[in-house]
């Protein structure tokens, strides 16, 4: 498919239209250093998702312990069930910090002058693909996390038990792994409905704030161009039919939604405003044209994790489309 190919010879409604090879892009020499750093993080993403998918809470053990506060055997059983789970939750949280650093490295590469964001995407496809992979992972992680209420229940029990310090003679070595400061940070992370997305949106907002000499448009144009790329690939059968796997379609949908959410958090006017460089009506239509089971979580992400959807400046027809 080559590098970044124009899929249409004209621009539709002034939105750039490109084909980005999410399946085959390979790093050039110029991309290699950043690509290697980010790849080290992404290599662990599937095992993180597998670990989350396999997460079985300690609900029954916790209930037994609470209902029988004087039965030390049940207290110990609950504690010994929760501790390995807390270590697992720390691993997920620690991965979010690594992912945040990877995102910052990619944003630095894909927004730095003198190239425009579009030129960066054209010349650094492998980095654009990694950016897409981070978003794809993020939405998958958060979709899974929302279905596992046991996570917060387990962690709350852990914190209550530690603070009471009732189990002095039982495996409190875990505090070497998860001290109070770490527990506080983890608690804030898991309190979010979509913790990975919150991590990325905060990281992107901080990236813009810390790079005061970099025009905001460099970052927002990178995001809006990625959204347009995905939208056009999804709505143009001539190009979506080139994908080797149907999974790439879902990949494109997740990436499109991810960059829209980031744009909405970073741009002062958000993604839904009439002045937005993202064709929100077109993006939502593309999602609604897919099987409902594939897009319910993505439409919910647009509804509940964006910042500006309910602003007065959001056109009514956009709000109606997402009801």
Indicate the angle between helix axes 292-304 and 125-145, nearest 10 degrees.
Answer: 90
| 87-104 as b/e: b if 16+ CB within 10 A | ebbbebbebbebbbebbb
For strands 18-19 and 5-6, give the pairing. Answer: antiparallel
Q: Does the pTM of the predicted model rise above 0.85? A: yes
Q: How far is the C-alpha of 3 from the C-alpha of 25, rounded, in Å?
A: 7
Instruction: Tell me phi and psi for residue 2, to 5 degrees.
Output: 75, -165
Q: How far is the C-alpha of 305 from the C-alpha of 307, rounded, in Å?
A: 7
pLDDT level of residue 244 (50, 70, 90 thresholds): confident
Residue 127 has pLDDT above 90, yes or no: yes
Residue 204: C-alpha distances to residues 107, 140, 216 (Å): 8, 19, 11
pLDDT level of residue 14 (50, 70, 90 thresholds): very low
Q: How far is the C-alpha of 156 from the C-alpha of 181, rounded, in Å?
A: 15
pLDDT level of residue 283 (50, 70, 90 thresholds): very high
Q: Three-class SS of residue 212?
A: coil
Residue 4: its pLDDT value, please?
Answer: 40
pLDDT level of residue 166 (50, 70, 90 thresholds): very low
Instruction: Quote the Cα angle for 85-88-93, to 5°.
Output: 125
Residue 10 has pLDDT above 50, yes or no: no
For the ranges 101-110, 160-169, 176-185, 287-296, which has the lowest average pLDDT? Answer: 160-169
Work out the mean pLDDT of the chain and round it to a whole number.
88
Q: Which residues contact 254 (CB under 8 A, 6 or more apart)?
A: 135, 136, 139, 140, 298
Residue 230 has pLDDT above 60, yes or no: yes
């Amino acid at each position: 498919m080559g590098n970044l190919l124009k899929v249409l010879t004209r621009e539709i409604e002034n939105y750039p239209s490109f084909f980005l090879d999410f399946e085959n892009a390979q790093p050039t020499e110029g991309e290699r250093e950043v690509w290697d750093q980010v790849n080290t993080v992404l290599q662990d993403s599937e095992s993180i998702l597998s670990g989350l998918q396999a997460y079985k809470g300690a609900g029954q053990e916790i209930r037994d312990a609470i209902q029988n506060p004087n039965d030390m055997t049940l207290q110990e059983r609950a504690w010994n069930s929760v501790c390995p789970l807390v270590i697992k939750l720390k691993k997920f949280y620690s991965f979010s910090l690594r992912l945040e650093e990877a995102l910052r490295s990619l944003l630095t590469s894909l927004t730095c002058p003198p190239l425009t964001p579009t030129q960066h995407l054209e010349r650094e496809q492998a980095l654009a693909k990694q950016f897409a992979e981070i978003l794809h992972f993020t939405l998958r992680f958060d979709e899974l996390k929302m279905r596992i209420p046991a996570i917060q229940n387990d962690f709350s029990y852990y914190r209550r038990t530690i603070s009471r310090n009732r189990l002095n003679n039982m495996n409190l070595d875990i505090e070497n792994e998860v001290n109070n400061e770490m527990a506080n940070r983890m608690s804030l992370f898991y309190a979010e409905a979509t913790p990975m997305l919150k991590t990325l949106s905060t990281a992107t907002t901080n990236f813009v704030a810390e790079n005061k000499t970099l025009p905001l448009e460099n970052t927002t144009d990178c995001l809006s161009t990625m959204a347009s790329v995905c939208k056009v690939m999804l709505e143009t059968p001539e190009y979506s039919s080139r994908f080797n796997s149907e999974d790439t379609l879902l990949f494109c949908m997740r990436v499109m939604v991810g960059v829209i959410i980031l744009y909405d958090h970073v741009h002062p006017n958000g993604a839904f405003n009439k002045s937005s460089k993202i064709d929100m009506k077109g993006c939502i239509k593309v999602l609604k044209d897919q099987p409902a089971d594939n897009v319910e979580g993505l439409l919910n992400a647009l509804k509940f994790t964006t910042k500006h959807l309910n602003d007065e400046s959001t056109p009514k027809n956009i709000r109606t489309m997402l009801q």
